[in-house]
Structure 1
Amino acid sequence: MAEAGTYLYAISQDLGRALPADVSGVAGAPVRAITHEGLVAYVSPVPLDEFGEEPLRRSLEDLDWVGGTARAHHRVVEAVSQQAPTAPVRLVTVYSTEDQVRDLLHRRHDDFAAVLARVTGRREWGVKAYACAAAADSPSADSADSAAEPEDDRPGTAYLKRRRANLRGREETWRLTAERAEHIHATVAATAVASHRHRPQDPELSGREDPMVLNGAYLVDEDRAEEFVATVDGLRGQGIDVELTGPWAPYSFTALDLGPADRETSDDT
């Protein structure tokens, strides 16, 4: 049997609640809780011939493997977050032993407690905004610029004028789109406790051809969730397609930097 490591999913407050029996971890492994001074670390065993430092580098080049691992990781984190305030840990954080996880809970207890206190009673929502292709290709600006220039019958001159007008029109459209994205972010952020703007995803990740102009995460009080959703709904249209996701565990607001001392005992990747 291959030597096993300890995969860490999340740290939460210890409210004495058990996960549903049907929640399994990476590679279908059972998930168990390690408790210490009011905190719980959720872990499962993983084979080190797959999750050790060297084989893990190869595994991370397999997109199917990464996708399956990420889904299992997310499944456990979401189940934990339904039970108690939760701080998700970065994907594929693996320790050699459970004792190292206990030591982590002891040494970083106050840091983890502060993070969990910040997200108690709050959930993360995602707002993505896309520039609609129809708006980006709108000929209105082109027409206005063309009308402002004197006519010239020479084919080459007319072509250059149309090209300049088209470029100016597109630049103006993208300027207005960027301003609209900023307005959307500022408006929804005002309804949230905290916000974070991620880098816009390319079409391969987003699954859409329309360019993403906003990829925001927002930490929202649970008793303001309906207000937040209504605010987002009111911002749709005007050449922008707005996509709302969530609520999720607060991935974007619980960045647990394990630090050099922690990484010395971890295969954190």
Structure 2
Amino acid sequence: MSDLLYLYGLIPTNEANDQSLPSVTGFDGESELYTIEVGNVTAIVCDIDSDKHSEEDLKDKIENDMEWLQEKAFHHHETVLMVSKMYTIVPLKFCTLYKSEDSLKSSVESNRNKLQSTFSKLKGNEEWNLKIFCNDKELREQVSESNPAIEEKRKEISELPKGRQFFEKKKIDQLIDQELENEKNRICEEVHEKLKEKALEGSVKKNWGKDVTGRQENMAWNSVFLIAEDKVDDFIEEVNRYKEELESAGWSFEASGPWPPYHFSSFS
């Protein structure tokens, strides 16, 4: 049975020729990374002995062996991150496999134009992530005290007969919750649009739960940006400005990067 190819990413061949790939242990902990040149695109791969690790075996481990999955996912992330610091890279998703070198080359050839366009877009640019967290309890108190819609509702209730006031006051909490979400979205959208001015591209991603972040505050926003290398300092400076302005109101900001450009490149 022939070996499987594990694909980490694709880089421009001219960059691959300028500096050699360092010696790095591959996915199975035995083989080493190496390159396969496909014209002006070079693939970074390692071999997986399919006698020891069949596709079915790998699928079973991904679904049922969390310790193995975490170890291998970390290996993939660290390897792609290392490569991204050396070359312009189109990173591949975890556990992207090919059954043969011919199959890999055919896939690269059929996407050649798209890859060249992606390399041009990514060269000299970096992916950065911004996560915004909010202390809902603290912000809720502020909204309750200063929101015009809530003040208007309280005034409206105070003018009602005593009997109706009791039932209407129960609606205040619902209104506060609604206005809290409106305020969170307003601020996050404002920050996102302002930071997009410093970036080439920006997009919003799904928020993570507390079980993933390990934080007490809720994640209010999760976004990624593609930023020119010479604009990164401006981006970070703008994030720090928001930190200083909004920290006392229960907000916190986490900017991290540069990361492999998973969100601004794709390869099937």
Q: Is the shorter-chain TM-score for this pair beyond 0.5, marking a shared fold?
A: yes
3-state DSSP of counterpart to 1:204: helix
1:252 to 2:254 alignment: no
Q: Does 6-15 or 138-147 show the bigger shift?
A: 138-147
State the partner residue of 1:188: 195
Q: Is the 8 A contact 2:5 2:47 kept in 1?
A: yes
Paired positions, count: 254
**Whole-Å separation in 1 of the counterparts to 2:82 and 2:143:** 50
Q: TM-score, normalised by structure 1?
A: 0.83
Q: Is the 8 A contact 1:177 1:239 kept in 2?
A: no
State the partner residue of 2:234: 227
State the partner residue of 1:57: 59
Q: TM-score, normalised by structure 2?
A: 0.84
- 1:152 positional shift: 9.8
State the partner residue of 1:84: 87
Q: Is the 8 A contact 1:126 1:245 kept in 2?
A: yes
- 1:72 positional shift: 1.0
Q: Which runs of 5+ in 2 are unaligned?
A: none
State the partner residue of 1:267: none
Higher helix share: 2
State the partner residue of 1:67: 70
**Whole-Å separation in 2 of the counterparts to 1:239 and 1:122:** 32
- 1:131 positional shift: 2.0
Alignment RMSD, CA only? 2.6
Query: Alpha-carbon deviations, 1:72-114, whole Å to 9, x = none?
Result: 1111211211121110012111111233223333332222111
**Whole-Å separation in 1 of the counterparts to 2:236 and 2:21:** 29
Flag the 1:160–1:53 CA change in 2: closer, same or farther, 3 A.
Answer: farther
Q: Is the 8 A contact 2:80 2:260 kept in 1?
A: yes
3-state DSSP of counterpart to 2:199: coil
State the partner residue of 1:12: 11
**Whole-Å separation in 2 of the counterparts to 1:183 and 1:51:** 49
Q: Is the 8 A contact 1:34 1:43 kept in 2?
A: yes
Query: Alpha-carbon deviations, 1:153-187, whole Å to 9, x = none?
Result: 98x97764553222222221221111111111111
1:204 to 2:203 alignment: no
3-state DSSP of counterpart to 1:43: strand
**Whole-Å separation in 2 of the counterparts to 1:81 and 1:74:** 10
State the partner residue of 1:240: 251
**Identity across the alignment (%):** 22
**Whole-Å separation in 1 of the counterparts to 2:32 and 2:221:** 38
**Whole-Å separation in 2 of the counterparts to 1:203 and 1:93:** 29
**Whole-Å separation in 1 of the counterparts to 2:51 and 2:173:** 57
**Whole-Å separation in 2 of the counterparts to 1:179 and 1:188:** 14
Q: Is the 8 A contact 2:157 2:169 kept in 1?
A: no
Query: Alpha-carbon deviations, 1:91-149, whole Å to 9, x = none?
Result: 11111123322333333222211111110000100011122133344165169555763
**Whole-Å separation in 2 of the counterparts to 1:179 and 1:49:** 55
Q: Does 207-216 or 49-58 show the bigger shift?
A: 49-58
Q: Which runs of 5+ in 1 are unaligned?
A: 259-269
What letter is aligned with 1:216?
S
Query: Alpha-carbon deviations, 1:10-34, whole Å to 9, x = none?
Result: 001122212333x333232411111
**Whole-Å separation in 1 of the counterparts to 2:126 and 2:226:** 6
- 1:203 positional shift: 2.0
Q: Does 184-193 or 94-103 show the bigger shift?
A: 94-103
Flag the 1:195–1:140 CA change in 2: closer, same or farther, 3 A.
Answer: closer
**Whole-Å separation in 2 of the counterparts to 1:18 and 1:168:** 61
State the partner residue of 1:38: 40
What letter is aligned with 1:31?
L
Q: Give the alignment partner of residue 97 of structure 2, picking from 94, 97, 108.
A: 94
**Whole-Å separation in 1 of the counterparts to 2:266 and 2:159:** 60
